[in-house]
Amino acid sequence: MKVDTEIGILTRLLDNHPAVMLLIDTSHTILWSNQAYQKTLNLPPGRLIKDKCYVKMGHSEPCFDCPVTEVLKSGDPCLGLIQLGSTESSQSINNFWIIEASAVFDTTGEISGAFIVAHDSSECDWVKQNLENKEHFIRELVETLGVIVWTCDENGVFTYVNLAVEKILGYTRNEYVNMAVSDLMHPNDYRKIEKDVPRLLQEKKGWNNVIVRWLHKNGSWRKLESSAVAIIGADGEVIGFRGIDRDVSDRLDLMAQLAQAQKMEAMGRFAGGIAHDSNNMLGVILGYCEIALDGMDPSNEIRNCLEQIKSAAGRSADLAKQLLTYARKQVTKPEVVDLNDRITKTLTLLRRLIGENIKLTWLPGKKLWPVKADHHQLDQVLSNLCINSRDAIEEVGEITISTKNVRVKKAMCEIRTGFIPGDYVLITLTDTGKGIKKEIIDHIFDPFFTTKPVGQGTGLGLSTVFGIIKQNNGFIYAFSEPGKYTSFEIFLPKYSGVITEKDEEYLDVEVQTGTESVLLVEDEQAKLEIVDLFLKRLGYNVTAMNSSKKALQLFQKNPDKFDLLLTDMVMPELRGRQLMDKMKSIKPDLKYIFMSGFISTGERGTDSPIKVSADEPLLQKPFSQKELATIIRKVLDS
């Protein structure tokens, strides 16, 4: 009885105390409050609403720097300053209170809650000054941030925004406030977000790292990464959101460009591998067709069949070469080129390709720097681009080709993936065709990508152009305005070395024979057999080996037996150049010829290609018996 009396007296004392007092559990739920708290919130006498303490203060989660959270964590008393709100009245919503919190322990010594004593600080001068200083600091900090800080109401109408909005989206603060989310967000993104709004309002939550497209004042779309928290009103419901938006447009665009470059590199490796194997088999088909047709009576009914097979294999070999070019694994013979001179020589061919209904305008730059590239491949680039432009022009139009010297600076390389600073000669080809849509232009250099109807395009034209430019150490960029034009910019590096006279082309001569001894090394058995047959038909004494190591061992035993080494470049044991180097260390005057379907990308995935210099003899697979005969005599007779 005495204990009950003491508890009753203690309760009345706490109830009559002018300070606000609360007892909360470890989940921040209010278990008891005195009359001062109820009066502060205008609650009827004796009424207790068991709710989270932070919800009473207008928050959706525990307050930042909350002394109660600290007490429940450490068990030590804590003093702090927070803003106290009400679910029933806004009377004290802007009042700040000094909070004294201490832990409540159960019989086992574990923390079971906290006891809070709160004093209204509205009349306390030092608290006012502290708050003013803190508010000034926060406002300055928010206004200097490089991200958009904003608040909006429950209908998505902005009520505040910091100055960063002008730099990121082009709007002034006054223009942005009172605009709605639906006015600024991309319609497709808004439809997705709109579905989540009821759930966010019900759960009283915000969102994290959501990327949406936002309308810039100039009409373009920027990609913003948005995070926000809910603002809880006096009635405990969501009255708006506050958050930050970070502009990630450039980062996402660079990531997309990198992913595209990696994809094209992977596809190039895949395409190159397929094309190399196809080249070997096509070489065998073409070789046996050539032998079978040699001397066959024109009236033989089988002759036409063989010629059709040879023609189809030849077209397939051209397709394989396009794949190898895209993969940047085709053999090149670079030489110093004057692009103005080279393009001038191709104009007649280009005009024939595009037809009389399209005007071809040539604007050569002055004092053009020299470049070092394979001029046959450059002809192919211009031809492919002109054909592509011709197909894009309906009825009549114009194609303009121009050249000039340019210096690519670091700032440009940060915008365009794959660009490298330096001096370049720029070739620009622009057509007045129907243009390329934005969603398509990122894929135009992909192999087998085409917008032409089935049967009217392989999708290798532009991918071949891409491969050629990369193989010649340059880069290409395309831009377009649908319905108006498309432009291709080709950057080829300036050649700064010593300019020498270029080699003469092989002369078109009759098939030449010989009797010298040839060591033939080729790991592909079918290809080995057809080249062996070619050589023997030409009169040479042939030793054919499908193993480079065994060929070296044989050569070491009797090096004087052989006059010429004819070797494939890419083999599993010793590569062609390694084999040649080892043999020439034994016999320095040994003549050699390389054969190759492509130049591989080096050992174990490294990116150091095995190159053939312009003055080294090389046969590009597939080759004919006549081509083989011509190069052998040129090498042996030199």
Task: Answer whether residue 1 shows pLDDT above 50.
Answer: no
Peptide bond between residue 622 and the one before it cis (omega within 30 degrees of 0):
yes
Per-residue DSSP letter, 36: H
pLDDT at site 541: 93
pLDDT band at 507 (very low <50, low <70, confident <90, very high): very low
Q: Which residues pair with 213 in a beta bridge?
A: 223
Task: Answer whether residue 602 shows pLDDT above 70.
Answer: no
Contacts of 401 (CB under 8 A, 6+ apart): 343, 360, 361, 362, 363, 382, 427, 428, 429
Separation between Cα atoms, residue 273 and residue 262, nearest integer Å: 17
Give the mean pLDDT of 381-404.
89
Strand ranges of the sheet holding 358-363, from the earlier edge strand across to the other edge? 358-363, 397-408, 422-431, 485-493, 475-481
- Specify the 3-state DSSP secondary structure of 408: strand
pLDDT band at 548 (very low <50, low <70, confident <90, very high): very high
Separation between Cα atoms, residue 592 and residue 616, nearest integer Å: 9
Asked whether 96 and 82 are in contact (CB, 8 A), the reply is yes
Q: Which of 184-188, 319-323, 333-337, 590-594 has the highest average model confidence (pLDDT)?
A: 590-594
Is the pLDDT higher at 586 or at 297? 586
pLDDT at site 488: 92
User: Which residue reads 């906290």 in tokens?
Assistant: 114
- Specify the 3-state DSSP secondary structure of 568: strand
Paired sense of beta strands 517-521 and 541-545, if any: parallel
pLDDT at site 527: 85
Give the mean pLDDT of 304-328.
66
| Tokens coding 475 | 């880069």
In whole angstroms, how far apart are CA 326 and each of 271, 374, 468, 471, 570?
A: 8, 15, 7, 9, 19
Task: Answer whether residue 564 shows pLDDT above 90.
Answer: yes
| Tokens coding 528 | 């080995």
Q: Which of 139-153, 257-271, 299-313, 390-404 has the highest average model confidence (pLDDT)?
A: 390-404
Separation between Cα atoms, residue 529 and residue 523, nearest integer Å: 10
Give percent of the chain with pLDDT exceeding 90: 17
pLDDT band at 49 (very low <50, low <70, confident <90, very high): low
Separation between Cα atoms, residue 215 and residue 228, nearest integer Å: 19
Separation between Cα atoms, residue 56 and residue 40, nearest integer Å: 12
| Tokens coding 596 | 């190759």
- Pure H helices in 332-409: 339-354, 375-392
User: Which residue reads 């595209």 in tokens?
Assistant: 260
φ, ψ (nearest 5 deg) of residue 593:
-140, 135
Per-residue DSSP letter, 366: S
For the chain, what is the radius of gyration of the CA atoms? Answer: 40
Q: Which residues pair with 247 in a beta bridge?
A: 224
pLDDT band at 129 (very low <50, low <70, confident <90, very high): low
Task: Answer whether residue 224 shows pLDDT above 60.
Answer: yes
Task: Answer whether residue 439 shows pLDDT above 80.
Answer: no
Strand ranges of the sheet holding 148-153, from the earlier edge strand across to the other edge? 158-161, 148-153, 238-247, 221-232, 207-215
Is the pLDDT higher at 313 or at 22? 22
pLDDT at site 505: 40
pLDDT band at 427 (very low <50, low <70, confident <90, very high): very high
Which 3-state string (H, E, C) describes 74-115? HCCCEEEEEECCCCCCCCCCCCEEEEEEEEEECCCCCEEEEE
pLDDT at site 557: 92
Contacts of 388 (CB under 8 A, 6+ apart): 461, 462
Task: Answer whether residue 520 shows pLDDT above 90.
Answer: yes
Separation between Cα atoms, residue 273 and residue 280, nearest integer Å: 11
- Alpha carbon of residue 134 to chain centroid: 44
Burial class (CB in 10 A: 0-12, 13-18, 19+), 384: buried
Is the pLDDT higher at 353 or at 533? 533
Give the predicted TM-score (pTM) of the model. Answer: 0.40
Q: Which of 37-41, 169-173, 561-565, 577-581 shows the lowest mean pLDDT across its residues?
A: 37-41
User: DSSP secondary structure string, 256-310?
Assistant: HHHHHHHHHHHHHHHHHHHHHHHHHHHHHHHHHHHHHHTT--TT-HHHHHHHHHH
pLDDT at site 361: 93
- Specify the 3-state DSSP secondary structure of 492: strand
φ, ψ (nearest 5 deg) of residue 551:
-65, -40
Nearest to 539 by CA among 458, 633, 608, 403: 633
When the pLDDT of each residue in the chain is averaged and rounded to a whole number, the result is 79
Element (H, E) at 168: helix 164-169
Separation between Cα atoms, residue 100 and residue 79, nearest integer Å: 5
